[in-house]
Structure 1
Amino acid sequence: MSRFISRRPRPSALRTRTAVVAAGLGAVTVLGTGAAIAAETGTAVSKPAVVTSTANAVAAQAQAQSQAAAKTVAVQKAAAAKKAAAKKAAVKPVAVKKAASAWTKPVSQYVVSATYGNAGNMWASKHSGQDFAVPTGTVVKSVGPGTVVKAGPNGAGDGPAYGNAVVVKHDGNTYSQYAHLSRVDVKIGQKVQGGQQIALSGNTGNSSGPHLHFEIRTTPNYGSAINPVSYLRSQGVTL
């Protein structure tokens, strides 16, 4: 006769399995119930805590980036303003050049050998002009803008004592005369500017040595001379 051995589970093991099954059913029941309640009421089931933490981190990062961008813009604006201020400060006012005088000396370098109004044996009356001792061939310039009204030998019509001479008419019925020239470089009717070469100095006519005889006149002719130093000073030129 064979034996039949019955293998019944032990009471302790049976109780353990029953508890596990019950716990699982309870969890399913609870989850199912929650889902059902959410479906019926239209309320969302709470998201896991990890999702909320991620959203907060993204928001914080976005805020930090926005603040950094604003700070960068402010720094750039400040730098641009500083650069503009420095550029403005570096700009210097343009110096206005003073217009060159239209009047000048008849010769650049000289020694005064006789002045206006001097008395002496060399003149029938007082000296009518200013004498500048210069070497023969020195450039003689018109003292101001004007028109040549006399030019040539025999004092350009004023007599042989002046030798070769030139007379220039200026504005205001004023005339300048240049005498004892070795060469005349202009002709009657020619317009000249102040500082323009009109002749070369010499020793022609009634002259005791190479020099330029210079007069300022109120007419083109001999006998109307005025003080040339005073007149040129009124034009900004000092002899």
Structure 2
Amino acid sequence: MADKHLSTQFDSELNSLSTRVMELGGLVESQIRQAIHALAHFNEDAAAQVIATETRVNNMEVEIDRELSSVIARRQPTARDLRLLMAISKTTANLERVGDEAERIARMVRSIIAKSGAVRTLPSGDLGVAADLASAQLRKALDAFARLDTQAAVAILKEDDLLDSEFDGFVRKLITYMMEDPRTISPSLDLLFVAKAIERIGDHAKNIAEFIIYVVKGADVRHSSMEHIELAIK
């Protein structure tokens, strides 16, 4: 009975940690939405709100890490439980970095607003497609993590190329603008940093998907081909 009681307590602690990760994910998702809104409307108030939220994201990461350390020290987990705790730690770190990227977008928006009107002629609206893709990838990754769904994780990995293609296309378009009008170079570079931040959000979603496969299958699929990944989840 004592073993069963301890097992129930441990399950409760794991569920609590997973819930905290989902809360952090929700906060970071709202940061992304706010950052993209700031970019779409050149809204300095929205940008300031994103930057202010970063402190909450950082604090939540520290709290989750502290709780993780406590659980590992007390329970000394093995096998899948240990993999889950490791994945929670890595997922938390990736979510905090997504928050960093959202803050970076907000700071670039402030920089763009402070510069000349040349930015109004740039294709900033084109970033909306990439931003929607990145945000959707993160949402899917969090949902897959909550369910430990390896099939959904593989689907996320396959979709990563779409975001990379959007980024490459946007960079080519920016280069054309800068070549045609040197006055756009400075704001174009700001938009390039925004585009790179959006691409990195997709990379972090991809990392979370890889952690799901690691938890469920015990296979480290980082830097692996899609063929190898699909074999790993069978």
TM tier, smaller: under 0.3
Q: TM-score, normalised by structure 2?
A: 0.21
Q: Which has the higher strand share?
A: 1
**Structure with greater contact order relative to length (CA < 8 Å, sep ≥ 6):** 2
Q: Which has the higher helix share?
A: 2
Q: TM-score, normalised by structure 1?
A: 0.21
Task: Compare CA radii of gyration and give the structure with the larger one.
Answer: 1
